[in-house]
Structure 1
Amino acid sequence: MKKLVIFGSAEIASLAKFYFSHDSDYEVAAFVVDDEFVDGDEFAGLPLVPFSRVVDLYPPAEYDMHVALSYRHLNKLREEKYHQAKGAGYYLASYVCSKSVSWPDLVVGDNCFILENQTIQPTVKIGNNVMVWSGNHLGHGTYINDHVYISSHVCIAGHCSVGERSFLGVNATVKDFTSIGKDCFVAMDASVVRDADDGTVVIGATGTVLVGGDRRAEKIKRMYFSGN
């Protein structure tokens, strides 16, 4: 079996260990965090090591890595650690749950975490470092850019695009042939019925759009993404 080190020591890292251990050809060997966050020798029953030592203890020639972090700061933290791990020389493993429906032409980048019960139609492309929680529909011809987080029960119709670092909340829907820009927040139960420019917040079933820089939009993003 291939060997894997997981970056993180919280809920998502523990969940990643479970999925990789039960539904992949990886054996999880250890967890790693930035030096200042090491609070013991173990996490979830495995060694917990500081990032400054990981290359020596678990060299990239022998181990792959998976960055398992949340959407904190609208996915910017996960993006930062993704580049940190790649800069250290690691191949970043993706996990795509076997308990989903997809097609042979599906394109998935590195360090993706795609959970069960997805319906992923033909010609879908998913970039790097994308998290797709359980039970979503990704319509044909759709492109999900890097560092995006898609919550559960999101329905994205055909020929859509989602920009880098954007977040789609539970039960959000996206109309076909719709483009969502970078750094957007689509709130829970919101409907995206027209293109959303970079930095916008979309709320409500009628798809109310608050453009980037709007005081209400910035307040909503701070509320959701500053402390998770």
Structure 2
Amino acid sequence: MKKLIIIGTGDYAEMALRYISRDGEVEVVAFTVERDFLSSDDFQGLPVVPFEDLEEHYPTGDHIVIAGIGPNQVNTIRERLFNEAVVKGYEAFTFISSRANVWSEDSVGEGSFVFDGVTIEPEAVIGKNTVLWSNAVVAHHSTIGDHCFLAPGASVSGRIVVKDNCFLGINCTLRDNITVAEKCIIGGGAVIKKDTRAGEVYSARPADRLDKNSLSTKV
């Protein structure tokens, strides 16, 4: 069984540990963070070592890595550490949950993480180091770029291109045949019907609070 190191010690890294350990394809043996962020030598009962010295503790030929880092700064932190780990000589591990609905595992790029309930339809392609959280949908003939993050329930319709370093928020919807340019943030619940430009941020209108009492309102 291959031995895996997870980059990061946040909530996503913890979830990565739980899902990977459940499916049992590889053994998680350690976590790693950059020295400036190393506050403890233990996380979830496993050792944490400085990323700068990673290969001294865990040789590249015997270990693989995955970046368990969220979408901060439109995924550029995860992108940088992923690339640096590959330069060090590590193989990137790709996780596809046993409970995901993926037409072809070959369509998922190296280092990506596909959670439970995700649907990836025929002819869809997922880039490298991209996260698809629970119940996200990527429909037919769509392409998700490298270093993207799709939050739970994000819906990508057919023949869409989502370029690198995008964040798609929870329950957002992209209509078919559009392109989302690089480094865009699509907020939770937003509906995108047209092409976007690089670096744009979209937010859905929040729900209105009505001047009513719930006990006197018929449901």
| TM-score normalised by length of structure 2 | 0.90
Instruction: Give the secondary-structure state (helix, strand or coil) at the position aligned to 1:146.
Output: coil
Is 1:32 the counterpart of 2:13 in the alignment?
Answer: no
Paired letter, 1:148:
C
Describe the shift of the 1:16–1:198 C-alpha distance in structure 2 as closer, same or farther (beyond 3 A).
same
Cα distance, 1:109 vs structure 2:
0.9
Question: Where does the alignment leave 5 or more consecutive residues of structure 2 unmatched?
Answer: 206-219
Report the identity percentage: 31
- CA deviations 1:163-213 (Å, max 9, x no partner) are 1111111111011111100011111111110111211222337xxxxxxxx
Is 1:138 the counterpart of 2:138 in the alignment?
Answer: yes
Runs of 4+ in 1 over 6 A off after TM superposition: none
Paired letter, 1:55:
E
Cα distance, 1:105 vs structure 2:
6.5
Alignment of 1:93-172 (within 5 A): 93-104=93-104, 106-172=106-172
Is 1:42 the counterpart of 2:37 in the alignment?
Answer: no
CA-based RMSD: 1.3
Q: Rg: which structure is higher?
A: 2
Instruction: Give the secondary-structure state (helix, strand or coil) at the position aligned to 2:54.
Output: helix
- CA deviations 1:34-80 (Å, max 9, x no partner) are 11222222111011111232102111100001110011111111111
Please tell me whether the aligned partners of residues 97 and 114 of structure 1 are also in contact (alpha carbons under 8 angstroms).
yes
Is 1:53 the counterpart of 2:49 in the alignment?
Answer: no
Cα distance, 1:24 vs structure 2:
3.9
Cα distance, 1:100 vs structure 2:
1.6
Question: Where does the alignment leave 5 or more consecutive residues of structure 1 unmatched?
Answer: 206-228
| TM-score normalised by length of structure 1 | 0.86
Please tell me whether the aligned partners of residues 127 and 144 of structure 1 are also in contact (alpha carbons under 8 angstroms).
yes
- CA deviations 1:100-150 (Å, max 9, x no partner) are 212136511111111011121101100011011101221100000001110
- Separation in 1 of the partners of 2:119 and 2:12? 22
Please tell me whether the aligned partners of residues 105 and 122 of structure 1 are also in contact (alpha carbons under 8 angstroms).
no
Cα distance, 1:83 vs structure 2:
1.1
Partner of 2:197: 197
Partner of 1:71: 71
